[in-house]
Structure 1
Amino acid sequence: MTETDLNTPAVPGPARRHTDTDTLLEVRGLKTEFATAGGRVAAVRDVSFSVRRRQRLAIVGESGSGKSAMAMSIVGLVQSPGRVTGGEILLEGRNLRGLPDKEMSRIRGRRISLVFQDPMSAFDPIRTIGSQLVESIRAHQPVSRRVARRQAADLLGEVGVADPEHRLSDHPHQYSGGMRQRVLIAMALANSPELVIADEPTTALDVTTQAQVLGLLDRLVTDRGAALMLITHNLGIVAGFCDSVQVMYAGQLIEESPSRELFRSAAHPYSRQLLDCVLRTDRRQQGPLATIPGALPDPTSPPHGCAFEPRCPRGKGNSLCKSTEPELVQVGARGDGHGGRQLAKCHFPGVHEREETT
């Protein structure tokens, strides 16, 4: 069953479209594995994609599909027993793979920032919020501690923390979950990165706080001109917030599409089923909510053919689907009018129209 969130918070207005096609980040053939007692787990399997400047890209899929492993691979935070085993991670053409830790540390936080899924574990519990923000600022900017503290207070005020100068002296446990997430966003944006990767930034937050965090990301990313990769399983967020979507399954990228096209006409059966699992508020629910039968394949023994074949209503039992891994191919000729293409990793991709909202 999919983990798609059924509580869809109000999000900022319609997703913005971009005409700037300059590539900021390009990932080519990325492979990440984890050594376990049961064998090697292929967490990310030959994933390729690019991120444009100012783009809002959503990465969606069930838990275990490889979304977070891919994000950690990009910023060089995969720890033993995991390791990146193949591919290239190009930031403006420069390959980040193989860079010394010291050089990667200068890029991480300065040019690429990561908003972690769990804000509590992202902070040192015995140090104040102010000391951690100041450290993050001074690691990338040649400023005094006093100047950095002033910047830290300004950042807290910018993300909506009341009395920011006083709250700098508080410890992480003295902040609510929503406020910790705000501080984590402030830390990610402290050095004006060009790319912000937000890994499930609204998980475990109530619907009202989710909307506030999304509004904060919307305003800050827009004002600062950064690109955003939003990792989530909440398709309700994606619909109004992101301009393009990539669907992951079993460590692979199985569909890539402009956001509007995906919601109107998903091409991969898995994407179609994910959308069917979302509770629609614009029409009466007929019968129980749809679910996806079965489970993700064993990551220690990836299938030879299509990874989704055992759960696929279209290709289950088909000899081609069972024996041959499909290619990521373009579906039709439709796009978003700005160069966006719809791609699906399927032997029998089909565009299935969704019911239009009245």
Structure 2
Amino acid sequence: MSQTAVPENAPSGESLLEVRDLRTEFTTARGTVAAVRDVSFSIHRRERLAIVGESGSGKSAMAMSIVGLLQPPGRVVGGEVLLEGRNLRGLPDAELSRIRGRRISLVFQDPMSALDPIRSIGSQMIEAIRAHQDVSRKAARRTAADLLGEVGVVDAARRLSDYPHQYSGGMRQRVLIALALANSPELVIADEPTTALDVTTQAQVLELLDRLVTDRRAALMLITHNLGIVAGYCDSVKVMYAGRLVEESSSRELFRAPAHPYSRELIKCVLRTDQRQEGRLATIPGSLPDPTKPFVGCAFEPRCPVGHDNPLCQSTEPVLVPFGRPEANHATSCHFPGATRQESVS
């Protein structure tokens, strides 16, 4: 397992969560899909970690595997998920449910499917609070109103009686953040929390999430396909492709010196508001490999501007190895880290 970048505000050596060789599969009519392939990393207390990659790279499957919410036909087939040294895999459902929401919480990417449409916001929040706290229904309702007010819902006490469809998309996402923070968890996993929101609302939701997590001294794992939001909100980054981690570093180092060709291509796709956009928008040609077929060589090779058609890249799968400055905690899985096409074939 490669070394994980540690943010400046995290106590040295104090890991909150460790994921070791996690493997997740989905059984489909076309065959077995290897969604998460031997993923290992750790997250420290108060760290802001981003997991980035295209849709289909395995980010959400990994998140659901960590918290034990993966539904059939998905299943975790190997690895460990350690919360302060305790393996969450194999715990009874009742015990795992006590950990979810209390110590680890999840902000889902689709608030309409995450919220029960036939129950009021208040009843759902009260249930979540009382599941982990020994308080009366009246006290839980007061806490729910306070939380809604904290996430920016006006007239929060009255709006507890409203239903999800009476909230806008941005406000529903704020409700999910309030639910995730209701029991002051130590780790918040936010799975694409701004996917369906306009740019202005995205910024508001991210700033709100960052502030509330900071106030509670919690760690944040932000899962996103948009590298553009990483630099402003995260200390460290893991880049995921075809179910594996292909690069990890501090967010500053990733933007300063990306080592993997996939990371560089993702950065090129980021729209810059401080620069004039000319010509066509940047895209990564091709698509993710068929996950039902065995992987031979580097999964990114068919799309790679550096290693395309290179015999080494086609035959041997690279592993994460250190790259660049030792103090940067930077690692990448590439046979030609930081190289151009000319350098890889020379």
Normalised by the length of structure 1, the TM-score is 0.91
- Please name the residue that 1:238 is paired with: 230
Please point out which of 2, 17, 20 is paired with 2:11.
Answer: 20
Supply the distance in 1 between the matched residues of 2:211 and 2:23 (Cα, whole angstroms).
Answer: 33
Per mean C-alpha deviation after superposition, the further-off stretch among 206-215 and 267-276 is: 206-215
Offset, 1:304: 1.3
1:346 matched to 2:334: yes
Please point out which of 258, 261, 266 is paired with 1:269.
Answer: 261
**Unpaired runs of 5+ in structure 1?**
1-15, 353-358
Note closer, same or farther for the CA distance 1:351–1:108 as it changes in structure 2 (3 Å cut): farther
Is the 1:258–1:335 Cα contact (8 Å) retained in structure 2? no
1:206 matched to 2:198: yes
SS at match of 2:211: helix
CA deviations 1:28-68 (Å, max 9, x no partner) are: 00000000000000000000000000000011100000000
Please point out which of 148, 163, 175 is paired with 1:183.
Answer: 175
Please point out which of 283, 286, 293 is paired with 1:301.
Answer: 293
- Please name the residue that 2:308 is paired with: 316
Supply the distance in 2 between the matched residues of 1:59 and 1:19 (Cα, whole angstroms).
Answer: 18
1:117 matched to 2:109: yes
Is the 2:10–2:46 Cα contact (8 Å) retained in structure 1? no
SS at match of 1:275: helix
Offset, 1:289: 2.3
Note closer, same or farther for the CA distance 1:334–1:161 as it changes in structure 2 (3 Å cut): same
Is the 1:265–1:351 Cα contact (8 Å) retained in structure 2? no
Supply the distance in 2 between the matched residues of 1:257 and 1:212 (Cα, whole angstroms).
Answer: 26
Name segments (4+ residues, structure 1) moved above 4 Å.
none
Counterparts of 1:104-183 in structure 2, within 5 Å, are 104-183=96-175
Offset, 1:351: 6.7
CA deviations 1:56-104 (Å, max 9, x no partner) are: 0011100000000000000000111110000000000000001110010
Is the 1:119–1:181 Cα contact (8 Å) retained in structure 2? yes
What is the letter of the counterpart of residue 51 of structure 2?
Answer: I
Normalised by the length of structure 2, the TM-score is 0.94
SS at match of 2:132: coil
Kindly tell me the number of residue pairs found equivalent between the two proteins: 333
What is the letter of the counterpart of residue 18 of structure 1?
Answer: N
Is the 1:27–1:88 Cα contact (8 Å) retained in structure 2? yes
Supply the distance in 2 between the matched residues of 1:236 and 1:287 (Cα, whole angstroms).
Answer: 19
What is the letter of the counterpart of residue 343 of structure 1?
Answer: A
Supply the distance in 1 between the matched residues of 2:185 and 2:60 (Cα, whole angstroms).
Answer: 19
Supply the distance in 1 between the matched residues of 2:10 and 2:119 (Cα, whole angstroms).
Answer: 44
Is the 2:10–2:44 Cα contact (8 Å) retained in structure 1? no
CA deviations 1:268-324 (Å, max 9, x no partner) are: 000001111112233333432221111100010142111101111111111111111
CA deviations 1:84-135 (Å, max 9, x no partner) are: 0000000000000011100100000000000000001101111111000000
Offset, 1:332: 1.9
CA deviations 1:208-265 (Å, max 9, x no partner) are: 1111111111110110000000011121111111111110000000000100010111
Supply the distance in 2 between the matched residues of 1:153 and 1:176 (Cα, whole angstroms).
Answer: 18
Offset, 1:138: 0.5
- Please name the residue that 1:356 is paired with: none
What is the letter of the counterpart of residue 151 of structure 2?
Answer: V
Supply the distance in 2 between the matched residues of 1:281 and 1:180 (Cα, whole angstroms).
Answer: 27
SS at match of 2:184: coil
What is the letter of the counterpart of residue 350 of structure 1?
Answer: G
Note closer, same or farther for the CA distance 1:222–1:119 as it changes in structure 2 (3 Å cut): same
1:278 matched to 2:270: yes
What is the letter of the counterpart of residue 330 of structure 2?
Answer: Q
Supply the distance in 1 between the matched residues of 2:276 and 2:121 (Cα, whole angstroms).
Answer: 46
- Please name the residue that 2:318 is paired with: 326
Supply the distance in 2 between the matched residues of 1:348 and 1:144 (Cα, whole angstroms).
Answer: 60
Supply the distance in 2 between the matched residues of 1:180 and 1:119 (Cα, whole angstroms).
Answer: 6
Offset, 1:157: 0.7
Is the 2:234–2:251 Cα contact (8 Å) retained in structure 1? yes
Please point out which of 59, 81, 84 is paired with 2:51.
Answer: 59
Is the 1:254–1:328 Cα contact (8 Å) retained in structure 2? yes
What is the letter of the counterpart of residue 241 of structure 1?
Answer: Y
Supply the distance in 1 between the matched residues of 2:191 and 2:276 (Cα, whole angstroms).
Answer: 32
Supply the distance in 1 between the matched residues of 2:160 and 2:122 (Cα, whole angstroms).
Answer: 4
CA deviations 1:134-153 (Å, max 9, x no partner) are: 00000001111111111111
1:71 matched to 2:59: no
Per mean C-alpha deviation after superposition, the further-off stretch among 232-241 and 40-49 is: 232-241
What is the letter of the counterpart of residue 201 of structure 2?
Answer: T
Supply the distance in 2 between the matched residues of 1:179 and 1:313 (Cα, whole angstroms).
Answer: 42
Is the 1:266–1:351 Cα contact (8 Å) retained in structure 2? no
Offset, 1:346: 0.8
Is the 2:228–2:271 Cα contact (8 Å) retained in structure 1? no
Per mean C-alpha deviation after superposition, the further-off stretch among 23-32 and 303-312 is: 303-312
**Unpaired runs of 5+ in structure 2?**
1-6, 341-346
What is the letter of the counterpart of residue 206 of structure 2?
Answer: L
